[in-house]
Amino acid sequence: MLFDVETEGGMVVPDRFIQDFGKLNIARVIYRGKLTGKFMDDVRKEKYGVDEGVVCKGGRNANNLWMVKIKTDAYMQRLREAFQDDWENYWE
């Protein structure tokens, strides 16, 4: 599944990515707007129906693009069970 594209000019910004690649098998867009604590909490509590979590992206061009991962609490629990003391190596 496509969720990032990098060109010689850098990473493709979110709006352009959706515009150019939206007809392909890209990651589902579940939210567009300001990144807030409530959104992050809702992702952690699985209110968007994602299995592992989400990648949030913003910025107007390749020079100020930012990305952050937000994982669900259930995914964190699966990591703890699978990797015990090393689970944080696979976290956000």
Give yes or no for residue 92 having a pLDDT over 80.
Answer: no
Interval 40-70: pLDDT, tens = 999 999 999 999 999 999 988 888 999 999 9
Interval 9-44: pLDDT, tens = 889 999 999 999 999 999 999 999 999 999 999 999
Contacts of 59 (CB under 8 A, 6+ apart): 13, 14, 65, 66
Tokens coding 10: 């850098």
* Per-residue pLDDT, 13: 92
Q: What percentage of residues in the chain have a pLDDT greater than 70?
A: 100
